[in-house]
Amino acid sequence: MVSNANSLKPAEARTMSHRRRAFRLALAGLLLLAIVPMLPALRGGFLDWDDPYYVTHNFRIHQMSWANVVDLFRLEPQNGPIPNGQYTPLAELTLMVEHRLAGLTPWVYRATNVAIHALNVLLVYVLLRRLRADRAWAWLTAALFAVHPLHVESVAWIAERKDVLCALFYLGAMVLYLRFRETERIRWFAASVAAGLLALLSKPMAVTLPAVLVLCDLYLGRPLAEQWKRPWLLPFAGLSLVFTGITLRTHTGYGIIRGGEVGNVVQNAMMACWNFFWFVGKTVWPVGLTAYVPVPTSGVATTVLYVLALLGVAALAAGLAAYSRRRGLRLVPFGVFFFMTALLPVSRLVPIGIRYMVADRFFYIPGIGFLMLLAYGLVRWVRRPGAARPLRIAAVAALLLVWGGLTFAQSRVWRSSETLWTRVLERVPNATVALNGTALSHIDAFRLELAKAELERSIQADPHFEETWALRARLAYRQGELAAAKRYLATAKTKGLSPLLGADIEAKLRSAAGDHRGAILALSAYVELQPAAPDFYRGMAWQALHLGDEPNAVACLEKARELAPAAQAGFGDYLSRNDPDWAGQPALVRLLAADIGAFAAAYDFAREMHFWVQDEARALREYDLILAQYENALACWRRAVAARSEAGPISEAEMINLDRKLGIVAYNKGCLLAKGGRADEALAALRQAFLYDAALRENARTDTDLAALRENPDFIELTQSPGALMRRGGLEHVQMASNARML
């Protein structure tokens, strides 16, 4: 007997080893299915749809400190509004950490979303195992979850970090709760409640968790009466009630909930039922997806569809409920009720002011209910006896490959705003959100006529959308039509445009008109709502310098430096250690040097006045102010780069580029002075320009703006003989030019 037992041990060990290896391969396969189809999304950037609210212009997350972390969790934060009025502090915290580590590097945020999605795939497998599914069924459910095209929106869209993060803790809470119900160990219960809280802090959609846990208990054969004897779900229910109240408060406070929509109970129910069948169809046939599904136009056909959807869902729910009452909550009722329950907050049963009918991202958690039913059916089909079994396995593998291919293609759609809105317009030609997004892309790429055409279509589709009029104002400004831009902006404001969307263009329009106090007021309206916005304090400082108000300019720059991200906040410390003349510089010079990134905004605005608006007198004033303020600021960096004993935050190439920009400012000033007949001043400006960038001499020889100087001997000598710099520039300028060449 002992001999026989010993002879079996190696075989048992080999069997266990094979099983472990197969299990590891199965998990590796799930991770590949989760990651590979999403890879195209990693090459994308920030989108102009909600990404500004959550990342690029969410100044709440741009400076990581304990005080700012605490502020994220306030219902009335001090550092800016809650994005979209949706209380998601934990999701914002993860974005804050990423910004601290990687700044505004979009692939980092996208990669994090993909990584969380991969973890969610593994959790779906574990969840199904806890629900007593066998390995094949659990694996296939997780695999379908990994590759389903409806999940691309949740994963590829940076702003939807809240979706994948909520799912991570939602699924974790379910797994931990089921583990607790098996073992009755309180630590699993405490961990489950904690995970549920984290899910709610990630996205309020997790308020459905206690109801879903009840469904799990019923599905596993635990009578509902048990909950009354040992009410384990009370903490979950209490948290859901609290966060429902928080959501109602934030949505009401930010004007997201609209009373008229909430009161239309019957229509809302019909639309929610229409959404249910939309998701049923897209679960098995996920093609033709678009980021924007409009509300169907009212009419007889729409009403008939709504009524049929309502009757269909009511009949289905009643039939499954009656069946479950007689025979218990079996698989099909569980899967359907799981979907209905988890979808409830975003089903339009209680609308929240959204302009679209349904969205792919709503499927991310609820869809598990449908996918587990589909996986169960496929596993049963594959296991049927017969010689065709390999073909059936191949068919299931082909389904995964096809869905993976569709997900791969859909991930490419979400790479940029332009690709996203192009796809939307292919499906919904008059979608205002897509027309506006496309127009913004055209404006940024200087395709102004195309932008104008898109905005005209958008206004025809919805003449009351304030953001369209704000974009029309931005386009008119880009075209140099300031009067038209003012009219369009005024129209946008009458339709309810927020200062968060219109302050920057209003400030530019007022500054262009010489109304610098008005520009300061416009920027102040923004920082009242978004107090942590350093760019707007820089803008106010620049307007104050136009007014000669140096004390207020210094105060604004100090505030901007206080709010700047950590990478910029260290500029002043670096200069203080490496610039030998730093201590002797005035406060204004030190602040401008320490916040040198603001130079780009002043440079761009001056060129806009010159080349877009073509107001040469206004441009000349801008060029004068830039040269007066930034010559000494750049000198601080030049000295620090020349004398530094450590690697600096600005590379030598970046320093050369800053010098070139200042050279262009002086060059453009010289051109305007030459056109105005002020030859001596023009020559002085050009001499200054060539010191910063000697390559500008070549441009000056053929520049028509300098035609008035073409026969001037000093101009000829200046543009053709580098030695003129030594005769006319003085020792200090010669040394500066030598340093620039050295860099």
What mean pLDDT do residues 211-219 have?
94
Contact 361, 384 (CB under 8 A): no
pLDDT at 492 over 60: yes
Tokens (6 digits) for 300 = 């007889």
pLDDT digits (tens, 9 = 90+) for 532-554: 888 999 999 999 999 999 999 99
- Which residues, including other chains, have CB under 8 Å from residue 654's CB and lie 6 or more apart? none
Assess whether pLDDT exceeds 70 at residue 733: no
Residue 228 has pLDDT above 70, yes or no: no
Decide if 579 contacts 639 (C-beta within 8 A): yes
Could you tell me how far CA 648 lies from the centroid of its own chain?
30
- How far, in Å, CA of 225 to CA of 222, rounded? 8
How much is the average pLDDT of 297-316? 89
Question: Which tens digits make up the pLDDT trace of 378-414?
Answer: 999 999 988 888 999 999 999 999 999 999 999 999 9
Locus of tokens 């400076």 = 63
> What is residue 13's predicted lDDT score, i.e. its pLDDT?
65
What was the pLDDT predicted at 702? 86
Q: How many Å separate Cα 655 from the centre of its chain?
A: 31
- pLDDT at residue 74, rounded to an integer: 92
Q: Which of 300-304, 342-346, 430-434, 539-543 has the lowest mean pLDDT?
A: 300-304
Place of tokens 């741009």: 62
The Cα-based distances of 186 to 123, 177, 194, 327, 459 in angstroms read 21, 10, 12, 31, 59
Instruction: Provide the residue ranges of all domains of the chain, joining segments of one domain with +.
Output: 7-411
pLDDT digits (tens, 9 = 90+) for 86-126: 899 999 999 999 999 998 899 999 999 999 999 999 999 99
**Hey, what are 80's tokens?**
């800016």
Centre a 10 Å sphere on the Cβ of residue 311 and count the other Cβ atoms it contains: 12
- The mean pLDDT value for 618-645 works out to 88
Q: 280-289, 352-361, 409-418: which has the minimum mean pLDDT? A: 352-361
User: Which residues have a Cβ under 8 Å from the Cβ of 461 and sit 6 or more positions away?
Assistant: 430, 431, 432, 435
Angle made by CA atoms 355, 358, 362, in degrees to the nearest 5: 120
Whether 229 has a pLDDT exceeding 80, the answer reads no
- The set of long-range contacts for 312-321, using a CB threshold of 8 Å and a minimum separation of 24, is 312/273, 312/277, 313/272, 313/273, 313/276, 313/277, 314/273
CA 429 centroid distance within chain? 24
* Lowest-pLDDT choice from 156-160, 229-233, 311-315, 574-578: 229-233
Is the pLDDT at 737 greater than 80, yes or no? no
CA atoms within 13 A on the CB side of 641: 23
Question: How far, in Å, CA of 403 to CA of 150, rounded?
Answer: 10
The answer, yes or no, to whether residue 4 has pLDDT greater than 60, is no
Nearest to 48 by CA among 472, 435, 462: 435
700-707 average pLDDT score: 87
How far is CA 431 from each of CA 57, 290, 324, 505, 707, rounded to the nearest angstrom?
24, 11, 43, 24, 50
Question: What's the whole-number mean pLDDT along residues 675-683?
Answer: 90
Q: What is the pLDDT of residue 79?
A: 87
Burial 223-236 (b: 16+ CB within 10 A, else e): eeeebeeeebbebb
Task: Tell the burial category of 402 from Cβ atoms under 10 Å away from its Cβ (0-12, 13-18, 19+).
Answer: middle
Query: Looking at residues 473-478, what average pLDDT do you find?
Result: 93
**Worst-scoring range by mean pLDDT, 289-298, 447-456, 566-575?**
566-575
- Integer-rounded Cα Rg, in Å, for the chain is 32
Per-residue pLDDT, 727: 42
What's this model's pTM, rounded to 2 decimal places? 0.89
What's the rounded mean pLDDT across residues 207-217? 95
Confidence of residue 2 (pLDDT cuts 50, 70, 90): very low
Cα 499 to the center of its chain, rounded Å: 20
DSSP codes, 373-439: HHHHHHHHHHTS-STTHHHHHHHHHHHHHHHHHHHHHHHHHTTSHHHHHHHHHHH-TT-HHHHHHHH
Angle, vertex CA 270, rays to CA 301 and CA 268, nearest 5: 120
What is the Cα–Cα distance from 713 to 35, expressed in whole angstroms? 68
pLDDT-wise least confident of 29-38, 176-185, 221-230, 600-609 = 221-230
Q: Are 544 and 563 in contact (CB under 8 A)?
A: no
Rounded Cα gap, residues 148 and 306, in angstroms: 27
Q: How far apart are CA 714 and CA 491, in angstroms?
A: 53
Tell me the backbone φ, ψ of residue 291, rounded to 5 degrees.
-70, -10
Residue 569's pLDDT band (cuts 50, 70, 90): low
Sequence-distant (6+) residues with CB within 8 A of 533 are: 57, 59, 80, 526, 527, 563
pLDDT in tens, 153-177: 999 999 999 999 999 999 999 999 9
In the three-class reduction of DSSP (H, G, I as helix; E, B as strand; rest coil), residue 358 is classed as strand
Confidence tier at 740 by pLDDT (50, 70, 90): very low
φ, ψ of residue 56 to 5 degrees: the values are: -65, -35
Q: How far, rounded to the nearest angstrom, does the alpha carbon of residue 723 sit from its chain's CA centroid?
A: 53
pLDDT of residue 363: 95
Identify the band that residue 259 occupies on the pLDDT scale cut at 50, 70 and 90: low
- Contact call for residues 516 and 546 (beta carbons, < 8 A): yes
The answer to whether 141 and 127 have CB atoms below 8 angstroms apart is no
Cα end-to-end span (Å), the chain: 86
Average pLDDT, the chain: 88
Supply the DSSP symbol for 608. I
Share of the chain above pLDDT 90, in %: 56
